[in-house]
Chains A and B, each alone.
Chain A
């Protein structure tokens, strides 16, 4: 390695990504369900209680009940027309497929990708899968990603949905399988010392998100915001790791990115998480 590379790397490492904090403003919430009448009204009330953190005098709450749409197009047209800042719904609208935990249902599949509006996905009302603490409040919010540093939008949403005095977990799980695959390749390159590579790459992979979380803590302290920041930065098998973390920390809301600029389908990490983590609400950005 040349000296030029050494110093270039040192300065790149010292150039830390810091959080640009922006206060979340949710003025219009649309609750979409396949229920009608009192059941739909009751759902709206539960949602308002659950999401009281974004509910203030100026917030407009609206309902799109089951009778209001019978196709994906009708749903998208209604969302376009109402232009909400946030949609709240659940999996498998107008379907009984919620009994099989293998998909999100056609409405939610398209909705999360066809609009830029964040969607809160609740456990299905009939599924009785919600954890005991779920849908009560948002005291413990967890943002999950495999690329945390620099993801200001994700963090700002996670903070915006955390109740005053609550704890917001910022997590970054680096997939072990990918890491091991690259190390396997490195182990076959004589010019690279495998053990040094393992140690240095792992350290640097985890250092970026760790430093970013430190910058989030600094911003929050500077602005005297009433949150605690929790940090989970680790190597692991993502799905299994998140299942464990959600139970361990009694998480009330998971925040996750779903959009991927490079593809029309949902972000690689988001889909399996959204399909499998059905016990607690998810905020899908």
Chain B
């Protein structure tokens, strides 16, 4: 038997809430614990399931799926996982990995580098825009790795390695801005968007104006703060152009056919994902996860003999982390912890249509700045979902903007800023935690204030 929500004691709820807090703390201290987040959350999932079972919180008897006349019993932790989200992440990361093997992304990056003719300001603009575009299409971490690696190599080639820190910091901050562009650009978008019923096209049309404006402002501010100026003389311009001309955009292309195929498939992928937003269509019924997995399979056919290499490259830590996280959240739901948090959020929601969403946005950003934004997004999506909010409610957008942009406040706020700092350290540059916060805070504060205004008065 399962407990009626009313019958779960306050002590049990408080105990599970403590477990949740402990898990979030452990995630924040991931580096100190020398443990992957999948392992941390999986340990908590195991403990939560056991305690939930012992305390009769979990609805074991309801875990039967009826397909026609067949009854399939499922382990309690299987339906707890949002398989739609897992499918999107698995499919799109596989698809992106295989597409990058064709040399497409390095080709784009090098062509833009050569087009800049080595001028630092033009490079900052091109790399900034490329970071946003790659973050939108790929994922933030891959975007940061591609653009950050190229930045280090090209600035070294141009002899302006002293500007590397500024470039990488601006790019790191822009990954989280680019992560706002589409529904599949970041995991919080997928989780919250799915829970709110926001379609791919709606998401893009709502966030794109903000992303464009904030990208421009961030690049402009970055050039000012880090003293990145255009080349002053014809001689310097000619020298810089000569240096970047040595880059060969075709170096990473093993097969022209695979390259072209990858480019076409990337375009088709974006269009098809968008098409899956159209209601009453087969694609809509099958979902974005189906689209992502299908495109991954089509791309795998190109590399059928070495498909296993791509399976090895999948971020299993991330996927296992999701699966375990969904299980933990499911148990928390049954233990009334989410209801408790929801009640805690009630005063925020009662603050009205202006102060309420703003407070939620800044709170989400603050929480995301010190721990993973995915558990936060998953919990808030669940809580907001229980309130029957409309898809265009500003609260959904407050969580989306806050969870994404909060990662810009500290170096541990998002995986992509952590990658930026890793590249900075790899090249022998000093940047402490406080140093990052000091440098990034003006950017993050501006982005968050603009986001609050945008959510309240534009969306």
Contact = CB atoms under 8 A, between A and B. Distances in A.
A binds B: yes
B149 A14 contact: no
Contacts of B154: 11, 15
Given A11-B106, A14-B110, A4 B149 contact: yes
A7 B246 contact: no
A94 to B, nearest CB: 48
B315 to A, nearest CB: 9
A185 interface: no
Contacts, number: 55
A52 B26 CA distance: 78
Contact of A13 (B141, B251, B419, B423): B251
Given A13-B252, A14-B106, A14-B251, A8 B246 contact: no
Interface in B118-151: 141-142, 145-146, 148-150
Interface in A200-217: 211, 215
Interface in B149-163: 149-150, 152-154, 157
Interface string B329-354: 00000000000000000000000000
A22 B91 CA distance: 53
B248 interface: yes
Given A13-B252, A14-B251, A7 B245 contact: no
B171 interface: no
A7 B422 CA distance: 14
B247 interface: yes
A178 interface: no
A108 B62 CA distance: 95
Nearest to A9: B149
A16 to B, nearest CB: 5
Contacts of A215: 246
B352 to A, nearest CB: 45
B423 A4 contact: yes
Given A7-B106, A11-B150, 4 more contacts: A3-B142, A4-B149, A7-B150, A10-B106
Interface of B: 106, 109-110, 141-142, 145-146, 148-150, 152-154, 157, 242, 245-249, 251-252, 313, 419, 422-423, 426
A175 to B, nearest CB: 25
19 contacts: A3-B145, A4-B145, A4-B148, A4-B422, A4-B423, A7-B146, A7-B149, A10-B251, A10-B252, A11-B149, A11-B150, A14-B106, A14-B110, A14-B249, A15-B153, A15-B157, A16-B247, A16-B248, A18-B245
Interface centre among B245, B251, B419, by most A CB within 10 Å? B251
Interface in A20-41: 20
A17 interface: yes
A262 interface: no
B417 to A, nearest CB: 14
Contacts of B148: 4
A98 to B, nearest CB: 45
Contacts of B245: 18
Interface centre among B145, B249, B313, by most A CB within 10 Å? B145
A15 B246 CA distance: 6
A4 B144 CA distance: 9
Given A4-B422, A4-B423, A7-B150, A16 B251 contact: yes
Nearest to A214: B248
Contact of B153 (A4, A8, A20): A8
Given A3-B142, A14-B106, A15-B157, A8 B252 contact: no
From DSSP, what is the main secondary structure of chain B's interface residues? helix
Contact of B152 (A3, A8, A14, A18): A8
A232 B153 CA distance: 29
A12 B157 CA distance: 10
Contacts of B426: 4
Interface string A193-232: 0000000000000000001000100000000000000000
Sort A-B residue pairs by CB-CB distance and give the 9 closest, nearest first: A14-B251, A7-B149, A8-B149, A11-B153, A18-B246, A16-B246, A11-B150, A16-B248, A10-B252
B84 to A, nearest CB: 26
A17 B246 contact: yes
A120 B355 CA distance: 84
Contacts of B141: 3
Contacts of B142: 3
B394 to A, nearest CB: 36
B71 to A, nearest CB: 44
A13 B251 CA distance: 7
Contacts of A7: 106, 145-146, 149-150
A2 to B, nearest CB: 8
Contacts of B423: 4
A14 B248 contact: yes
A261 B154 CA distance: 27
A12 B423 CA distance: 15
Contacts of A4: 145, 148-149, 419, 422-423, 426
A13 B248 CA distance: 9
B149 A15 contact: no
A209 to B, nearest CB: 15
A17 B248 CA distance: 10
A71 to B, nearest CB: 46
Contacts of B109: 11
A11 B148 CA distance: 11
A20 B246 CA distance: 11
Contacts of B247: 14-16
A28 to B, nearest CB: 30
Contacts of B106: 7, 10-11, 14
A275 to B, nearest CB: 37
A211 B250 CA distance: 12
Contacts of B251: 10, 13-14, 16
Nearest to B105: A7
A215 B150 CA distance: 21
A18 B244 CA distance: 10
Contacts of B145: 3-4, 7
B149 A211 contact: no
Contacts of B248: 14, 16, 211
A149 to B, nearest CB: 11
Interface centre among B142, B148, B149, B152, by most A CB within 10 Å? B149
A20 B245 CA distance: 12
Nearest to A4: B145
A8 B145 CA distance: 8
